[in-house]
Amino acid sequence: MAEDDIPNEAHGTEEHAAEHGAAVHHHGPPTSFIRKYVFSIDHKVIGIQYLLLALFSVFLGMLMSIMMRMNMTWPGHSWWLLAKLFPTGAPGGVMSPEFYLSLVTMHGTMMVFFVLTTAPQGGFGNYFLPIQIGAEDMAFPVLNMLSFWVTFLGLAVLVSAIFAAGNGVIGPTGGWTAYPPLSAIGDVLNVPGQGMGMNLWIISIALFCGGSLLGALNFITTLLNLRTRGMSLMRMPLTCWAWFTTAVLALLAFPVLLAAGVLLFLDKNLGTSFFVPAGLSTGTTVIDHAGGSPIMWQHLFWFFGHPEVYIAILPGMGATSHILSTFARKPVFGYRAMVFALFAIGLLGFFVWGHHMFISGMSPYTGMAFSVLTLSIGVPSAIKTFNWLGTLWGGRIRFKTPMLFAIGFVSLFVAGGITGLVLGQTTLDLSMHDTYFVLAHFHLVMGVAAIFGMFAGMYFWFPKMFGRMMNETLGRIHFWPTIIGVYCIFIPMHVMGIVGMPRRYSQFYEIVNGQVQMIYNFNRPTVPLIHFVTWAAIITVSAQVIFIFNFFWSMFKGQKATDNPWEATTLEWTTATPPPHDNFGGRVPTVYRGAYEFSVPGAPDDFVMQTTPDETEANIVTTAGTHAVQGKGDGHNGHG
């Protein structure tokens, strides 16, 4: 094991280091505006581009969720603004069911792909993975630029669906899972949005897959090949492990979605029948397809879709581990277990996709196997939670805004993740599948928890990225309504699901002469909760304005940041703020210890930088050309 831990650079001689430098630093700082800020090949600029793309998408996605909430809470109400903006989709300001469904689809697609997949990995990962491992850039800077711009194009195509979908909708209406036959022959069945809107959706997702693949290749290569001297694998920050695992998942998952998307496009436009069986009818004529299987799409989609959940959450886990340790002033508890748990989650994540399909008509035997595997994935998730608690235990916690959000992440991850024990059981899915219980589960765990990971990361790394601190008071004012709000939104959705409330319904009651008239009587107990959740959502979304203000205000007016404002240990805090074009100003950092050496007894400060030489280790590295990885803080668990 120790042998595997040694990166090539660790054997490094000066000559090797120079060669290494030359190989990577093949682009000088650009001078023109376009090369510097638009078509940049600097991973730091690209990281910020990804973050801005996600910021745009997340606000669009949130706006859509508020529109959905308002429609289901006050169905039939005429909204003045809606009437002005969407005269066909909302005639007289009253939202049509198909308009609602296009919101469902666009909200899901925006959030899952262009927020949860871009910001944590493409954004923070792009910016900080190279710096944290001591590299000057990504392994393939041009590929990196391409991956962003292909993703951007994907977003542009998706946004264009808002205008081009037609039929008074703002996108396809089949949900972000795009199940055929609804997606493949929806237009034949006169379902609005399933014509041009659906085509644009497929193209957008295909582009996104391409962009993500390029990014994943880049991350993996960079992490494996460009670690600086002394940065053995087990000395890496857990953020790097998380980004690496995520990249492996993306590399294996996105091609499957890409292939499925191509097949769906062929079915839809060129008359093939991969997903459409024979003998379907419009009610007047038989539809001209034969031989396909709708369930095959579900297999392909969820083979991607389940790892995608981990693509969204793993970087948040990494950031949380990193931030908890930094602000508890304590090494990560069970570093090695944390790495193995990440890998276990990633690996098991590929064997559980069938739990989305228990009631799909898939063989019930298969369902049972998937069920047991699904609950097994709770074990590494629990390991992570225990170790986060272990990291806090005995710490000296500093409650800065990044730490508040990181603790919020742990709380939300537990709250959202643990209901997987319910949904992972075949039996319980007989009632819970496709209810608000599912909505509550995945929004808490992969939506809100992942977003908290991003907020934590943003408050934490903002000073490094922009050279100024985010305002601490505003950060706290942002934190409180956000965490209270998300719990008020999503905890009630669990019990709504137990009552039986189905997902993706544009409304649950009509208002006739001021009286609530249920469409389904069994939903009646949920009516007060529907109102409560909507108000909670409106307040929570409004509170995000505080973040936006803080973000842009601090960028220009914030307090100037020092190089290491949080007294953290990893390499990004050893360089200038913001880092120079080549990250370390021509220097090649040498790493002497693990990433989380806080409160080391006898050390002058309560943190020891990874680059702080240790008398004996430094000698060994420079003289013998080998190294001493077995020192303190290499992630080996201590004694019991």
User: Would you count residue 491 as binding another protein (CB under 8 A)?
Assistant: yes
CA distance linking residue 604 with residue 610, whole number of Å: 15
Residues of this chain, 428-447, that bind another protein according to CB under 8 A: 428-431, 433-435
Q: Is 364 exposed, middle or buried (0-12, 13-18, 19+ CB in 10 A)?
A: exposed
With binding defined as CB under 8 A, does residue 426 bind another protein? yes
Near another protein by CB under 8 A, which window of 62-70, 98-106, 219-227, 231-239? 98-106
The Cα 585–Cα 136 span in angstroms is 9
Q: Residue 484 CB, nearest distance to another protein (Å)?
A: 7
Q: Which is nearer to another protein, 70 or 251 (by Cβ)? A: 70
| d(C-alpha 240, C-alpha 246), whole Å | 10
> Contact between 427 and another protein (CB under 8 A)?
yes
Residue with token string 């062929």: 266
User: 83-91: which pairs have CB atoms within 8 A and are 24 or more residues apart?
Assistant: 86/168, 86/170, 88/167, 88/168, 89/168, 89/169, 89/170, 90/168, 91/168
Query: Could you say whether residue 160 binds another protein (CB under 8 A)?
Result: no
Among 263, 337, 530, 541, binds another protein (CB under 8 A): 337
Interface with another protein (CB under 8 A), residue from 57, 65, 68, 98? 98
Does the protein bind another protein through residue 500 (CB under 8 A)? yes
* Best CA proximity match to 353, nearest among 430, 247, 424: 424
Of 98 and 582, which has the nearer Cβ to another protein?
Answer: 98
How does DSSP classify residue 518?
A: E
Total site size for another protein, rule CB under 8 A: 129
Minimum Å gap between C-beta 585 and another protein is 32
Choices 332-340, 533-541, 548-556, 558-566 (CB under 8 A): range interacting with another protein? 332-340
Residues 102-121 that bind another protein (CB under 8 A): 104
Binding marks (x or -) toward another protein, 401..420, rule CB under 8 A? ---x--x--xx--xx--xx-
Q: In this chain, which of 498, 539, 555, 618 binds another protein, going by CB under 8 A?
A: 498
d(CA 544, CA 63): 11
Q: Is 502 in the site for another protein (CB under 8 A)?
A: yes
Can residue 635 be called a binding residue for another protein (CB under 8 A)?
yes
Residues 71-90 that bind another protein (CB under 8 A): none
Question: Does the protein bind another protein through residue 101 (CB under 8 A)?
Answer: yes
The answer to the question of residue 619 lying near another protein (CB under 8 A) is no
Which residue's CB is nearer to another protein, number 143 or number 375? 375
Site string for another protein, 289-328 (x = CB under 8 A): ---xxxx--------------------------------x
Answer for which of 18, 23, 85, 379 binds another protein (CB under 8 A) is 379
Whole-angstrom distance, CA of residue 160 vs CA of residue 139: 33
Helix, strand, or coil (residue 332)? coil
| 376 contacts another protein (rule: CB under 8 A) | yes
Give the one residue of 120, 331, 346, 463 binding another protein; rule: CB under 8 A. 331
Least distance from C-beta 471 to another protein, angstroms? Answer: 15
Q: Which residues contact 438 (CB under 8 A, 6 or more apart)?
A: 423, 432, 497, 503
Long-range CB pairs of 72-78, under 8 A, 24+ apart, other chains included: 72/100, 72/505, 72/506, 72/507, 72/508, 72/530, 72/534, 73/530, 73/531, 73/534, 74/511, 75/506, 75/507, 75/509, 75/510, 75/511, 76/510, 76/511, 77/511
- Does residue 496 belong to the site contacting another protein (CB under 8 A)? yes
What sign does the CA torsion over 182, 184, 186, 189 have?
Answer: negative
Tokens of residue 8, six digits: 């090539």
What is the footprint of another protein within residues 513-572 (CB under 8 A)? 519-522, 524-526, 529
Torsion sign, CA atoms 141, 142, 145, 151 = negative
